[in-house]
Amino acid sequence: MISITRDVIDTGTMIEAAKRPGMGALVTFCGVVRDDGVERMELEVYEEVAVRELETIRDEAMRKYPIESVDIVHRVGSLFVGETILLVIVGAGHRKEAFAASEYIIDRLKRTVPIWKKEFGRDGEERWVPGEPGDQTSSPPPG
Amino acid sequence: MKVRVKAFARFREILGSDLPIEVPDGATMATVLAALRDRAGDRGTAIFDEGGALQAHVILMRNGKRVKRGDLDTLAEGDEIAIFPPVAGG
C-alpha cells in the first residue's frame, strides 16, 4: 500500500497486513517526530505528485532488489513529539535485501517526495525544516 | 487564459496556496514568474534574487512534471504550475 494520510499510523496492523507466506523478513522504518525543543510540527504535501513519486520509488525498489513487497505510508497535518511521520515496510525472503531496499527507499524519499515540515518550538519559534540537498524529484534535471 | 499556480511551504506563505492567474495567449513560464514576482513584492527574497531571477533552489512543475526554469514551452488554458522549495519529508 502506498498512501498519504492525515490519521494516526497503526504500525502493528500494517506489519501484519504486509506478511506473505514466502517472507522470512519484514524490515520496517519508522520516522518519528523528535523532541529537540519542538512541541509539534505541521507537514504539508503536494499530494497528487507525492503519491505518484512514492509509487515510482516502490517500483524502483522492487526492480532493484529481490524483495516481495513495499508499503509506504506518510502522514501529513499536525503531529506531536513521538508520533509516527512515516512507515516503510519491506517484505522479502531474507533480511539482507530487505534492509538494503529499506535504506534505498527512505534515502530516495527524502530527496524527491514533495512534502515539507514546519516545526513549532516550545519557545514559540516557527521554523521550516530545510530540504535535503540533491536531485529533488525524479523527472527532468534542474536547469 | 487562466492557469493555476500552487505554492507550497514557505512559498505558500508568501504567495498563497492556489492562485488563478490570467495570462495572455502564448504565455510561457516566464510570464507566470513575472506575475508571481509582482505578487511577492518585498517578501519574495526567498524565491527571487535581487535581479528578479529565481533562486537556485526553487523547483517548478507544470501539470505535475518537473520543468526547467528557462522552459520556453507555451502554456495552455487550465495548466497547473507548482512552485516549491527543496522537499523535507520522511
Which ipTM was obtained for this model? 0.93
Q: Chain A closest CA to B6's CA: distance in Å?
A: 9
Query: How sure is the predictor about A56, in pLDDT bands with cuts at 50, 70 and 90?
Result: very high
Query: CB neighbours (10 Å) of residue A84?
Result: 17
Please tell me which residue of chain A has the smallest CA distance to B87.
A131
**pLDDT over 90, % of chain A:** 90
Task: Say what the pTM is.
Answer: 0.92
Query: How sure is the predictor about B70, in pLDDT bands with cuts at 50, 70 and 90?
Result: confident
Write the pLDDT tens digit of every residue in A111-139: 999 999 999 999 999 999 998 766 565 54
Nearest to B3 by CA among B84, B68, B81: B81
B 5-44: CB under 8 A from A: 6, 8-10, 12
B66 touches chain A (CB under 8 A): yes
Give me the residue spans of the domains in chain A. 2-123
A2-123: CATH topology is Aldehyde Oxidoreductase; domain 3 (3.90.1170)
H-type helices in A65-94, by residue range?
A: none
- Has residue A143 got a pLDDT over 60? no
Q: What is the mean pLDDT of chain A?
A: 93
**Residues of chain A contacting residue B12, judged by C-beta atoms under 8 Å apart:** 44
B2-84: CATH topology is Ubiquitin-like (UB roll) (3.10.20)
Q: For chain B, how long is the longest CA-to-CA vector? A: 40
Give me the residue spans of the domains in chain B. 2-84
